[in-house]
Structure 1
Amino acid sequence: MKGKRYILILLLLGGIYTTCKKPYNPKIVDAPNHYLVVEGVINNGSDSTIVRLSKTVNISGNVSTSGVDNCTVSVEAEGGAAYTLNPQGSGLYAVPSLSLDAAKKYRLHILTGDSKEYASDYVEVKKTQPIDSIGFLVKNNALQLYTNTHDASNSTRYYRWSFDETWRFHAKYQSSYMVDQQAKMVIARPPSESSYYCFASDKSTTIVIGSSAKLTQDVIFQQPLTTIAAESEKIEMRYTILLKQYALTKEAYQFWENLKKNTEQLGSIFDAQPSQLTGNIHNLKDAAEPVIGYISVTNIQSKRVFIDNADVPKDWVAKYPYDCAAPDTALFFNPKTRQDDVLSIIINGTAIPVDAITQQNSVIGYTYSSIECTDCRIRGRVPTPSYWKER
C-alpha cells in the first residue's frame, strides 16, 4: 500500500507541474534595444589600430548584427593630440601604426551619424611582453595547444590572447576533368581550375585570459589556447596558428573574465551566475545607456607556429565532413539503359567527373562524384596565403 501511495503522490505532482507550466518570455527579451558594441584595442605599436562598431540584436529576432557606419572615431590623449580612424566599411575603422606616449592616458571617442557621443575612460598604456613559445600536448585524443610567456619586471600580471588559424586540406577525390558548358563536353581540368588542395581559416571564438596575480613571479606556463580533435581536418596535412598577446589592466581583466563567465560558462546549477557587464565605454549624454566593450591601450605581441601531420600520432585519421561513397560510373552510351550517361549525369547534370574510363585506348566514360566530394573550393580557397611556409 505504501508503494502505491508514493506512486499516486508522484502522479499528482506531475499533473500539477504540467498544468502550471507556462512559457516565460520576459519583456526585456522582446524590448527594442540595440546597444552599441565596441570591439578593438588601441595599438601602441607597428600594427594598425582597428575598431569595429556594431549593435546588439534581440534573442528572439531573426536579424544578424551588422556594422555601424557613418561614425567619426578617434584616439584621444588626455589633454593632448587626437588620431582619427579612417572608415573601412562594415563598421570597421582603422588607423596605421601609433606611437603613443606611455606617460599619458588615452581613450577612444565615437560620434555616431545620429549625433550620439560615446567615449571610453582614459586608461594607461600597458606594455605587452613577447610570447615565449607556443606548444601542444596530446591529451584525451586531441591536440591541446598552449602558450608560455613571462614578464621579468613583474608588472603585467593580466593577459589576454586571440588567434587566427589556417590549415591546408584536400577534397575526398581528385577531379582530373571538368565540364565545358559552352562546348557541352568533358575536358581535362586546367591548373586554373584546381579543386583538390585548399586552405581554410578561422578566428578564435572563445575568450582566452590568464593571470599570474597570485604567483610570486609574473609567469604564464602552458596557458591553454584551443583544442583540435584527432579526427579534425586541421591537422590532416599542415596547420598554423598566429597568436596575439595583449597586456591588460586589472579592470580590463575583470571585464573579460565576467564576459567569459556570461557567454561560455553558463548552463548548469554549478556554473557561475550571470552578472552585469561593466565596460569602460559610456554615452557622454546618457550615462544610463548600456554600452558593450572595453578599450585597452597596449602594443600587441604576436607569434606564428606550424604543426605538421607528422607531429601528431600516426593512428589519427581525419574525418571527411561529407558522406562520400566510392565514385560511380557514367558511360557515353549504356546499352542496358539505352542512354548517354555522361550527357545526362555529368554534362547536363550536377555530377563532377573524376577519372576517365578507357577501353582499347578510347575514353568510353568517366567516374564521377558530387561537388562536395571533389571540390575543396566550396569551403576553402586555392591560392597559397603569403605567410604560408612549407616544412
Structure 2
Amino acid sequence: MKKIFWSFIALIGVIQACRTPYDPEVPTSQSSFLVVEGYLDSEGLRSELKLSRSAAVDSESAFQPESGALVTLMSASGETIGLPESESGTYIFESDISEDQTYTLEIVLQNGQRYQSTPMKPILTPEIIDAGYQLDEEGVEIYISTQGDETADDFLWTFEETWIYRPRIRLGYIYDPIIENVRDRTEAEQIELCFKTEPSPDILLETSSRFEEQVVFRQTITEIPKGDERIMERYSILVSQKAIEEDAVRFWEILKKNTEDIGSIFSPLPSLITGNILRMDGGDTPVVGQVSIGVVRQTRLYINLVDVSPWNYLDPEFNDCVIGQEVVMTNAYAGVFGSGGTLPARAYIPEGGTTVIGYFPASRRCADCTLYASSIKPDFWEDE
C-alpha cells in the first residue's frame, strides 16, 4: 500500500489541460505531515503499521519513513501492546486480542508529537467463499467471492503477487578468480531461477449490501494481460480480505479517487483526506491516515504456464540477448570474465576433442536473474 499513499502526495503538480505549468506555493509547515496506514489483524496474523512523512511537492523522493516512534495499542480494559519497529517506518503487530473490546492506537514520535486513533472495535471479516481465475483471449482475470453480513458490509482487498523469473539465457558456469578458471556453479551460486514479489498497486473496495443476499460474486482482484511476465513459468497471488467500517470506506474512496485522477484540478485535494488519526498535543500539523482492526481472511492461488498456454511471453528488452560466437580461450578468462559483466555461457570443445578449451560468452544482464529478482525461494512457495 506504500505506493498508493504516495501517489496522492504528488497530485499538486502540472495541471492537465493548462498551457503553463502550475507551480503552487505550499507553506513549509504544511509540506511535511505524518501519514499512518495499517490494518491490524486481531487473531495474531503478522500485520504492519506504516508511519511516514509526506514530502514537499518538488521533492525527488515522496516516501520518507518515520522511524523511532513509540507505538502502542491500548484496550478499553487497560491492556497495552507495543508494536516494535522491524525496519524504518514499519511497526509490527502479532497479537491475538479479544474482538469484544474497543482499542485505541497511540503514536508518540521522537520529536514528542503525540497522535491517537479514535476508538476502534475489531470487525469479524467473513470467510472467502471462493477464489479462482478465468482465462480468455485477453489474459487472466483473478477473482474471489464472499458474503457480507450485518456487522461486515464493506470490504477492502489487498494482494501480493510472486512469480518465478527466468533470465533469457540460462547457464551453469562461473569464473572463479581463486583458481583462475571456469567451473560449475554451486546451488548457492545459481542465477537462473529467481522469484519476484510485488504488492498490490490498487485500492479495491466493494459494499456487499449492493447485491442480493449481500453476496459479492466473482469480485475482480487483478487482471494479467496475455504474454505478461508474471506467468512466464509459475505465478502465485495471496489475496487478503478485510472488512472495514463506514468511516474507513469514505477515507479509502477519497484516496482512490485521488490516485485515479492525479493532475485534475477538480479532484478532491489531499487536505480532504483525514481518517481516524488525530494529533493530541495541541499542534496544528495535519495528519493523514486510517487504521482498522479486524480479522484478515486470506487465500493463495497458483497458476502455471501450462494452465494458460499459449501465453507467448517475450520481453523485447532482451531481444538482443544471444550467446556470443567468438570463443573466449583459457588465457583470456580473467580479462573477459573477471569483471563479472560477461559470463561463460557454453563450453567449447573442438571437433574430435574431449577437453574444454574455452567458453562462448554472454552478457550478465541476459543471464543473471538476480539483477531483477531474488534467488531466495519464499517460505510459502509450493512447487508443482
Structure 2 equivalent of residue 47 of structure 1: 45
Q: CA–CA distance in 2 between the matches of 1:274 and 1:142?
A: 35
Amino acid at match of 2:336: I
Cα separation, partners in 2 of 1:21 and 1:313, compared to 1, 3 Å: closer
Kept in 2: contact 1:330–1:341 (CA 8 A): no
* Shift in Å, 1:194: 1.0
Q: CA–CA distance in 2 between the matches of 1:209 and 1:349?
A: 47
2:154 corresponds to 1:158: yes
Q: Deviations over 1:231-281 (max 9, x none)?
A: 222111111111111101111111111101101244569x85546112111
SS at match of 2:32: coil
SS at match of 1:160: strand
Structure 2 equivalent of residue 126 of structure 1: 123
2:222 corresponds to 1:226: yes
2:291 pairs with one of 280, 295, 298: 295
* Shift in Å, 1:303: 0.9
Amino acid at match of 2:356: V
Q: CA–CA distance in 1 between the matches of 2:56 and 2:268?
A: 21
* Shift in Å, 1:48: 3.2
* Shift in Å, 1:364: 3.3
RMSD: 2.5
Higher RCO by CA contacts (8 Å cutoff, separation 6 or greater): 2
2:354 corresponds to 1:361: yes
SS at match of 1:213: helix
Identity %: 26
1:180 pairs with one of 141, 159, 176: 176
Structure 2 equivalent of residue 319 of structure 1: 315
Larger Rg belongs to:
1
SS at match of 1:254: helix
* Shift in Å, 1:371: 0.8
Structure 1 equivalent of residue 33 of structure 2: 35
* Shift in Å, 1:284: 1.2
Structure 1 equivalent of residue 96 of structure 2: 98
SS at match of 2:337: helix
Amino acid at match of 1:264: E
Amino acid at match of 1:86: P
Cα separation, partners in 2 of 1:21 and 1:215, compared to 1, 3 Å: closer
Q: Deviations over 1:19-74 (max 9, x none)?
A: x9644211128766211011112321121343121101123112342321222111
Cα separation, partners in 2 of 1:231 and 1:114, compared to 1, 3 Å: same
Structure 2-normalised TM-score? 0.86
SS at match of 1:301: strand
Kept in 2: contact 1:158–1:247 (CA 8 A): yes
1:263 pairs with one of 248, 256, 259: 259
Flag structure 2 segments of 5+ consecutive residues without an equivalent.
Answer: 1-17
Kept in 1: contact 2:116–2:277 (CA 8 A): yes
Structure 2 equivalent of residue 70 of structure 1: 68
Q: CA–CA distance in 1 between the matches of 2:324 and 2:38?
A: 51
Kept in 1: contact 2:328–2:360 (CA 8 A): no
Structure 2 equivalent of residue 14 of structure 1: none
Structure 1 equivalent of residue 7 of structure 2: none
SS at match of 1:294: strand
2:371 corresponds to 1:374: no
Amino acid at match of 1:128: T
Structure 2 equivalent of residue 351 of structure 1: 342
* Shift in Å, 1:328: 0.6
Structure 1-normalised TM-score? 0.85
Q: Deviations over 1:167-218 (max 9, x none)?
A: 1121111212111123332222223211111111111121111112323422
Cα separation, partners in 2 of 1:206 and 1:306, compared to 1, 3 Å: same
Alignment of 1:245-260 (within 5 A): 245-260=241-256
Kept in 1: contact 2:118–2:277 (CA 8 A): yes
Amino acid at match of 1:59: V
Cα separation, partners in 2 of 1:27 and 1:185, compared to 1, 3 Å: same
Kept in 2: contact 1:174–1:196 (CA 8 A): yes
* Shift in Å, 1:381: 2.3
Aligned length: 364
Cα separation, partners in 2 of 1:182 and 1:341, compared to 1, 3 Å: closer
Cα separation, partners in 2 of 1:176 and 1:29, compared to 1, 3 Å: farther
Kept in 2: contact 1:282–1:289 (CA 8 A): no
